[in-house]
Chains A and B, each alone.
Chain A
Amino acid sequence: MTVLFGVFLLTLLVITALAIVRTQHLFAAVILTGVFSLLMAANFFLLDAADVALTEAAIGAGISTVLFLSALALTGEYERAGSTNRLLALGVVAVTTLLVIYATFDKPRFGDPEAPVHQHVAPWYLERTPELIGIPNVVTAVLGSFRGYDTLGEVFVVFTAGIGIVFLFGARRQRKPEALRSVIGELGEGLRHYLVPRVVGRLLIPFILLFGLYVQFHGEYGPGGGFQAGAIVAAAFILYALLEGEAQALRVLPTRVLTGLVAGGALLYGAVGVAGILLGGNFLDYSVLASDPIAGQHLGLLLIEAGVGITVTGVLLSVFHAFAGRGHI
């Protein structure tokens, strides 16, 4: 049954991808990428990767769509007709596809317990997480503690990308502060004159924030964590900006605060690592943070997840404002 659903979703994915390539209308292409991400999220969920599914749904289907739409406000609605060599492109794609299909013959069967991925380090993680970290969600344990360096690197990548985009786009704030035009039509003030979306949107924002906090702090027990929560919280503020206008959203969370969030989260993560050294352990070894190693691990995970969440929220909102604040050139 799972395989049937998987094949169904993957077929829809291929159809959506073809539609994205075929359409000349960039607006439709953006909405289709949202559809693509949602299908992908369903697929991840089918494969029991709930954490990834949550991220894909929040970032891929939610925030990227808004970011793409704000980017479309700066460019045009239609794709320019290209005169590139289509035969060459077709050849490259065909060869790559054949190679990938050939590679799948060596793959283990879907769900095969003998597959290398289930034989390598995964059993060790599954076995030792309860005694070393003491939390039910092994994904969070691997991500936050066992592979804490990787996640620190990811946070710094997000941080660097955010700074880069703010440098490229965010400099000209003084010229047109209220511009969010393509997303909501030619209205500088958000959806202020549309009663129904505004009332319902304002009603929903507190619940979205609450859900974001739940995902943030429940990450040790269920699917979730800093990346997902950051995206959800950012989505709540972006919804606010869409409803009330971008300028009003900047009044609520000024650029200075956003910059603080971007840097503060990464700083918090790094500081937890340094605190580990100062207390006599290794960098990013949380066991020394409290008298009991397991309590230390809990504290460390809580803090670094908070750092991840803060940075992701700050970066996503900064990127959104950088795009939306530019208006038409």
Chain B
Amino acid sequence: MAMLADIASWVLLTLGGAFVFIGGLGALRMPNLYTRMHAASLTDTMGAVLIIAGIMLQAGASLATIKLAAILLFLLLTSPTASNALASAALLAGQRPGEATASSERGE
């Protein structure tokens, strides 16, 4: 049983890591702000959920699991909100979804 939980946890952690990696790649390579944000949000959602689920399996039935669940809940509430705020701020600042950003403005 412990073996099974270990395997499941490692699968989740690896998958989460892969999502974070893809998100990072997308944030670097996508053509404009909105598509880059779309890629980065993958890190916040799928990456965070899978990694925290993996750690929860490692922690087992303990106080740490409850804390991790609370962290996950707050992440799921706050990161989409941050993405929303960022996107609407960009739209307000005159960033149009269609066009590619000039490379000089990409210095994040």
Residues on A facing B (Cβ under 8 Å) = 23, 25, 28, 31, 184-185, 191, 194, 196-197, 200-201, 203-204, 207
Contact = CB atoms under 8 A, between A and B. Distances in A.
Nearest to A201: B81
Interface of B: 74, 77-78, 81, 84-85, 88-89, 92-93, 107-108
27 contacts: A23-B107, A25-B107, A28-B107, A28-B108, A31-B108, A184-B89, A185-B89, A185-B92, A185-B93, A191-B85, A194-B85, A194-B88, A196-B81, A196-B84, A196-B85, A197-B81, A197-B84, A197-B85, A200-B77, A200-B78, A200-B81, A201-B81, A203-B77, A204-B74, A204-B77, A204-B78, A207-B74
Nearest to A207: B74
A204 B108 CA distance: 28
A203 B78 CA distance: 10
Contacts of A204: 74, 77-78
Given A25-B107, A31-B108, A185-B89, 4 more contacts: A28-B107, A197-B84, A204-B74, A207-B74
A65 to B, nearest CB: 13
A185 B108 CA distance: 19
Contacts of A200: 77-78, 81
B104 to A, nearest CB: 10
A290 to B, nearest CB: 31
Contacts of B89: 184-185
